[in-house]
Structure 1
């Protein structure tokens, strides 16, 4: 599946409507973002059941601020509507694929229950 561009108007609905969504927050002027883009695109082709999205932080400044983006690239992952990963920095292909595997295996409801018990 090719990557899609997200805006403030479709971000939340995309997260809600899809089981797993990865979001790459990036900017045109960002060197590491440009280096990571081919990796993100290539890995997206391997996972038809996952939405790979991109948010241009320059064009979507309000969305980037709402997501508390402080450094780019930042990768966020959502599963079943819940944020399950949020880290700045580009990942090599194997690390991105490993992350996706972990997200696919994650039992979100169990993780929520366990985090509630830990508090």
Structure 2
């Protein structure tokens, strides 16, 4: 599966309509972003059941700002409309595959429960 270009117009729908989305925040001028691009593309072929999406931080400044992207590339993993991973840095193929495996194995009910507990503690 080819990667999807995310914009402010299709971002919310893409996350709503798909259970598992990997997002690469990048820019054309960024060397590490260009190095990571083939790894990300290869992953999209290997993991065709996962939406692989890219956000050009130059063209989509609002999205980059909304998600507090300060360094690129930044990889974000969203499952069930919940951000479960967001870290800057280009990953080698093996590390990306390991991260995907870990994300697949997460119990999202448990994740949501922990988030609810943390937000409850923050409001207390």
Q: TM-score range by the shorter chain?
A: over 0.9
User: Following the alignment from structure 2 to structure 1, what is the Cα–Cα distance between the partners of residues 40 and 16?
Assistant: 22
Matched, 1:85 2:96: no
Matched, 1:15 2:39: no
The normalised TM-score by structure 1 is 0.95
Distance apart, 1:2 and its partner CA: 0.9
Distance apart, 1:117 and its partner CA: 4.0
User: Following the alignment from structure 1 to structure 2, what is the Cα–Cα distance between the partners of residues 48 and 32?
Assistant: 24
Unaligned runs of at least 5 residues, structure 1: none
Question: Hey, what does 2:114 align to over in structure 1?
Answer: 114
Question: Hey, what does 1:58 align to over in structure 2?
Answer: 58
The CA RMSD measured in Å over matched residues stands at 1.1
User: Following the alignment from structure 2 to structure 1, what is the Cα–Cα distance between the partners of residues 67 and 116?
Assistant: 23
Distance apart, 1:108 and its partner CA: 1.2
Unaligned runs of at least 5 residues, structure 2: none
User: Following the alignment from structure 2 to structure 1, what is the Cα–Cα distance between the partners of residues 113 and 62?
Assistant: 32
Q: Secondary structure at the residue paired with 1:21?
A: strand
Distance apart, 1:116 and its partner CA: 3.8
For residues 27-38 of structure 1, what are the structure 2 equivalents within 5 Å? 27-38=27-38
Distance apart, 1:115 and its partner CA: 4.2
Q: Secondary structure at the residue paired with 2:98?
A: helix
Distance apart, 1:114 and its partner CA: 3.1
